């Protein structure tokens, strides 16, 4: 059985990958600040900012694939603490990269649409110029360069992930909206920032397809609809049969963000659709899948294969 290691495995995407594919592969989940247990998965402490500890951990487990999901993702914190952001997102990626090279493992980096800026019309292609508007995006550009310096590797650019968090210790966007509206609390969401909202189940499936098909290079693994959070919030209310009057629009110019974000950053996903056996559903279909997952397993906890 092939072995897959996931860094940042206690996160939204990392934990989903483990849970969905633990029956198909030998899975190792690397964590740092959030230790966890998951039946059928070996979990291990992993500090990617520590070169020797990272490399030794990868050598000890000798995976066939490392999905590098760990990152410093808080965009404003990255802007305010560039040294810390670089240490995790760039130096940490280098440490994982070096560990993979020691055992000839394939590496797939989870990157972001924030490597781009603002595009009023059309969509960013794989080959589009990288021009990040914030420091987080700059660190991910450097991480991409490092990863792609070995041609067996791949980069998966994702955007605005949603889905049930499979670990009870963490929350997620949809659950926050649903619980807030159920409790008659207003939810203010941006109506002028457009991105490909992306179902984590599709991302997990696509990442495994990259491995199974021995694909390399850069992929945009994202939803097929580029919308704002306000409209997304209303779709959540529609599917979960909630009163959308509690979803309130706000403009990003009125936010207290430290770092600049693009107002329209839509990615072309044609390569993912054409080369990987993954069906990218529309948002309402995905939300209905989530609704079924929740009613079938309770509190957003899913079994393997969801």
Specify the pTM: 0.94
Coil, helix or strand for 264? Answer: strand
Alpha-carbon distance of 250 to 255, in angstroms, equals 8
Predicted confidence pLDDT, tens digits, the chain (306 residues): 999 999 999 999 999 999 999 999 999 999 998 899 999 999 999 999 999 999 999 999 999 999 999 999 999 999 999 999 999 999 999 999 999 999 999 999 999 999 999 988 899 999 999 999 999 999 999 999 999 999 999 999 999 999 998 886 567 899 999 999 999 999 999 999 999 999 999 999 999 999 999 999 999 999 999 999 999 999 999 999 999 999 999 999 888 899 999 999 999 999 999 999 899 999 999 999 999 987 544 333 333 222
- Helix-helix angle 200-212:283-297, to 10 degrees: 100
Coil, helix or strand for 116? Answer: coil
DSSP 157-220: EE-SEES--SSTT---HHHHHHHHHHTT--EEEESS-EEE-EEHHHHHHHHHHHHHTT--EEEE
- 3-state secondary structure string, 138-169? HHHHHHHHHHCCCCCCEEEEECCEECCCCCCC
pLDDT at residue 166, rounded to an integer: 82
Alpha-carbon distance of 66 to 271, in angstroms, equals 22
Q: In the chain, what are the domains? A: 3-171+196-226+265-284 (3.40.50.720)
Nearest residue to 207 via CA among 145, 268, 142, 158: 158
What token pair was written down for 63?
Answer: 């995976």
pLDDT at residue 121, rounded to an integer: 87
The number of C-alpha atoms within 13 Å of 277 and in the hemisphere containing its C-beta is 6
């Amino acid at each position: 059985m092939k072995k897959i290691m996931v860094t940042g495995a206690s996160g939204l995407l990392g934990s989903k990958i483990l849970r969905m594919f633990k029956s198909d592969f030998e899975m190792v989940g690397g964590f740092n600040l959030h230790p966890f247990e998951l039946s059928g998965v070996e979990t291990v402490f992993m500090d990617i900012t520590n070169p020797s500890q990272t490399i030794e951990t990868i050598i000890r487990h000798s995976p066939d694939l490392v999905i590098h999901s760990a990152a410093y993702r808080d965009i404003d914190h990255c802007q305010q603490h560039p040294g810390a952001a670089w240490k995790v997102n760039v130096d940490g990626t280098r440490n994982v990269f070096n560990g993979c090279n020691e055992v000839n493992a394939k590496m797939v980096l989870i990157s972001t649409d924030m490597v781009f800026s603002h595009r009023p019309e059309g969509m960013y292609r794989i080959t589009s110029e990288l021009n990040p508007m914030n420091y987080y995006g700059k660190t991910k550009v450097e991480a991409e360069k490092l990863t792609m310096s070995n041609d067996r590797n791949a980069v998966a650019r994702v955007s605005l992930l949603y889905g049930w968090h499979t670990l009870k210790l963490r929350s997620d966007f949809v659950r926050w909206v649903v619980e807030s509206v159920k409790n008659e609390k207003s939810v203010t969401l941006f109506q002028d920032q457009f991105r490909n909202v992306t179902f984590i189940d599709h991302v997990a499936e696509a990442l495994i397809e990259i491995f199974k098909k021995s694909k390399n290079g850069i992929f945009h693994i994202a939803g097929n609809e580029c919308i704002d959070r306000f409209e997304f919030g209303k779709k959540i209310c529609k599917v979960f049969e909630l009163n959308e009057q509690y979803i309130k629009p706000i403009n990003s110019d009125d936010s207290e963000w430290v770092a600049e974000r693009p107002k329209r950053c839509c990615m072309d996903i044609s390569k993912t659709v054409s080369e990987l056996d993954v069906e990218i559903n529309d948002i309402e279909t995905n939300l209905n899948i989530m609704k079924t997952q929740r009613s079938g397993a309770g509190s957003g906890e899913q079994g393997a294969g969801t």
